[in-house]
Structures are given as C-alpha cells and as structure tokens.
Amino acid sequence: MHVASLISTGFSIVTTLSRTRIIARHLVENYGMNKFCRNIRSTDLAVLEIETDANARKIITGECRKALVEDGAEAIALGCSGMADLAKEISQEIGAPVIDGVGVEVLVSLGLETSKVGSLAFPIPKPYRGVLQGRIS
C-alpha cells in the first residue's frame, strides 16, 4: 500500500474472496492509507483457484480495469501473494502500475530497511522481573 501511495495519488486493492475485504480494510486503516485507498475489490476466487481456474487471470484483470474506471484508482495493489506472478502482465494490459507485496521485496534486495535511528531504533535492553525473569534475554 505504501509503495502504491508513492507512485500514485490513489490506489484500489484487488483481492481474493469477499470475506477478506474486511481484513484489508483494517490494514488500510491501521497503516493510515485511508486517504489513498479508493476501494477494496474482490474476485471471489479462492487462492488455489488463481492457479487452477483457466479464467482467473481474466477475472483479476477485469477487477483491476474496473478499479481504474469506477474507483478512479491510478494503481492497483494486489491483496494476495498468489497473484504475484500476474502483476507485470496485468500492469502492461491495463496500462497502470500493479503492485504485489512479493515484488516490494525489491526494496530489501537494494539493502533498504527501516531506520534504526529514533522511533524505529532497537529497544533499550532492560531487566525482566516477575514471571518473565530468567525466561527472556
């Protein structure tokens, strides 16, 4: 979601089953992405169907197209790592960026990681007392 917000002014999420939309909504809210997330769409495909259903790619691509037109999205965030292999093809087909969480690992391959200065620094060592004393080091 953060990558999608860096390369567009708004994105939609395309995920698998309708019931997973609430989890995606919670993540959008927890990550502070409300102002960027245009919509959360589902394909009603189970994860395993992405590989076995001959129409899966067409269904996912269709939802991505609808997101651009109906939601005003400028990028798509795929909500299932099972869709990762489709991101590049769908992006080329719909003419907009399609981001998958697996591909975002490129940031790690560049050696980028969270800052350890300030608020994301490692915790200060502290002694444990009570039931945790001697159990955690």
CATH architecture for the domain at 2-132: 3-Layer(aba) Sandwich (3.40)
- For residue 53, give the nearest of 96, 11, 89, 83 by alpha carbon: 83
Q: Percent helix, strand, coil in the chain (nearest 5)?
A: 50, 15, 40
Which residue in the block uniquely carries the two structure tokens 């560049």? Answer: 110
Domain residue ranges in the chain: 2-132
pLDDT of 107 reads 67
CB 34 within 8 A of CB 96: no
Which residue in the block uniquely carries the two structure tokens 């981001």? Answer: 99
Distance CA 69, CA 46 (A): 25
pLDDT of 63 reads 97
Q: Going residue by residue through the chain (137 aa), what tens digit of pLDDT does each one get? A: 988 998 899 999 999 999 999 999 999 999 999 999 999 999 999 999 999 999 999 999 999 999 999 999 999 999 998 898 999 999 999 999 999 877 667 766 777 666 676 776 888 887 878 887 877 76
pTM: 0.78
pLDDT of 125 reads 81
